[in-house]
Chains A and B, each alone.
Chain A
Amino acid sequence: MVYFFQIAIDTLVLASVYTLIGTGFALRYSIAKYLDLGYGAHIAIGAYAYFLFSEYFGVVAILPAVIFSVTVAYASERFYFAKLEDKKSSPMVMMIASLGFMTLVQAIIAIFFTSSVQVLHTDASVIKIYDVVVTYIKIITIAVAFSAVILLNLVFTKTKFGKHLIAVSDNKDLAQTSGIPIKKLSIISASIAAGVAALSGILYGMDTIITPFIGLSLLLSGITAAILVNIQDPKKVYIGALILAVIQSLVIWFIGGMWKDAAVFLLLIVILLLRPEGLLRRRGIRQV
């Protein structure tokens, strides 16, 4: 029975990581409306920035690492992606461009840090709660995700910024004519998303390991989590993340690790067939 809780905790940790990534992605997608694969790059940037900085600053390096990632996101958004959008580039073009960005970033990281696996945190101290083994990192990860969700949800619903986000997400042109500064909003939301991504990369890396390529696989998990619920609603991503993590754990336990990915996507396709816009459709205006 103890092992049920063990798996539950581990699933929760994974769900936390997915929540962070998915929320950031949904935030980005609701404004940008294209599959920004480059988002995965920020996960890796954050993780490796921490890897670098922590040699000098220890754990405190989280902050500069996140800031670094946000800076990169800001710069790439302002000097490149926003310009592409100005040219009215299609979503497919944006996606390819973001793919180019991610490929570039991954390669640069591999040049500087080699493509070997790196470890971020070797403090393996565990605490046992009624025979369930948890490391500090696991607890912190869950806590961070939890707080992030609450915090972001508050921001989205209570602040002017949040209301602007919803407006732009629903109808960009209308929002523009109402005087909402779309470009600024886009850049800010991209930066927030990048910060969240970086954080998730760091936490994940502390819990396990990092390679220059973790960005892509974690990103896809995050996207799946977001889609399951509603890709444009960053507030509810955690539900999708939980479902995703639970399904994965169940599949690994009962069927075997090799079918994990296939099962997840099969589930995704099935759910999308039944509810084409995610389990929790956005109230009101339908997006295509």
Chain B
Amino acid sequence: MIVCSIFIPLALSLDLVVGRTGILSIAHAGFYGLGAYATAILTKTYNFSFFSSIILGVLITAFVSYLLSKILSRLKGDYYTLGSFGVIIIFYSLFINLTGLTGGAMGIFSIPNPNFFGLQISSNSWFLLMSSVFMLGTLALMQAVISSRFGLIIQAVRDDELAVKVFGYDTASFKTVVFVISASVAAIAGSFYAAYISFVSPNAFTFNESILILTMIIIGGLASKRGAVFGALFVILLPELLRFIGLPDSIAAQLRVAIYGAILMYLMYKKPTGLFGNYSP
């Protein structure tokens, strides 16, 4: 449940970039990881409070994503995608090799529970409350962004960038802003992840995670808040559902993965715009 409320904002924020602006980025999990490590390191080693670690995490991520966006925006189309793939590989390498900072493969443990003005949040129910607030906040943010003039422009950029440029807009800046907002939301999600699981390790922030989040919005449908929410719920809960269906033990686990792949293929064939999508890229 809490996992859902962490992943929904991840899906929503990625949709902002992919669905609304038309940029296919696979680096998303990297920002998620950045936020998680920021919170992990700051709250555990330096005794920051949870919320200040979120703020610092967002600042760091915003800065990094700003730089990355500037760099990656020079690449076109599939090259951009591959560049973003490179970015996440580099993030992973940094997470796993800079052992002094991140603990490497061993990760960081016992990340303290968040402290809300003195109230220790250690039970799951309280945490769910907090993360739900975050999730709803993200929904609201997305709504605000999309329905604003800014939102109209970036969607126009997605549909026909050249036309927008002709009108005199600096499309590159708009894309960068979108990217930074999206990355920052991901970072906050990462902070929640760190506090909830109380343990971070590089293996949670690989290219597989990025693909997972991308799959969520593709299945749910791009350019749709409902789609992102649904997609996230679907992707997270599906393996759990499959877990409940009894399958022959010896191959159950792999069979679940196979079914997952088959469902992807089927969905792409039957309803490529996703279930609630408003945009076919």
Contact = CB atoms under 8 A, between A and B. Distances in A.
A99 B264 contact: yes
Contacts of B78: 34-35, 91, 231
Nearest to B273: A93
Interface of B: 18, 24, 71-72, 74-79, 81-83, 85-87, 89-90, 92-94, 96-97, 211, 214-215, 218, 251, 254-255, 257-258, 260-265, 268-269, 272, 280-281
B219 to A, nearest CB: 8
A259 B218 contact: no
In terms of DSSP, what is the predominant structure of the interface of chain A? Answer: helix
B212 to A, nearest CB: 10
Nearest to A101: B265
B248 to A, nearest CB: 10
B66 to A, nearest CB: 16
Contact of A87 (B24, B96, B265, B272): B272
A35 B207 CA distance: 15
Contact of A262 (B93, B258, B260, B265): B93
Query: Considering residues A96, A99, A101, A115, which has the most beta carbons from chain B within 10 angstroms of its beta carbon?
Result: A96
Contact of B251 (A80, A111, A261, A273): A111
A288 interface: yes
A269 interface: yes
Given A90-B272, A100-B264, A111 B93 contact: no
Nearest to A97: B268
Query: Considering residues A84, A90, A227, A266, which has the most beta carbons from chain B within 10 angstroms of its beta carbon?
Result: A90
Contacts of A83: 269
B95 to A, nearest CB: 10
Interface string A249-269: 000000000110110011011
A262 B173 CA distance: 28
A204 B260 CA distance: 28
Given A89-B272, A93-B272, A107-B257, A99 B211 contact: yes
Nearest to A256: B97
Contacts of A96: 214-215, 218, 264, 268
A103 B257 contact: yes
A134 interface: no
A127 interface: no
B79 A104 contact: no
Contacts of A258: 93, 96-97
Nearest to B280: A90
A94 B76 CA distance: 18
Nearest to B263: A100
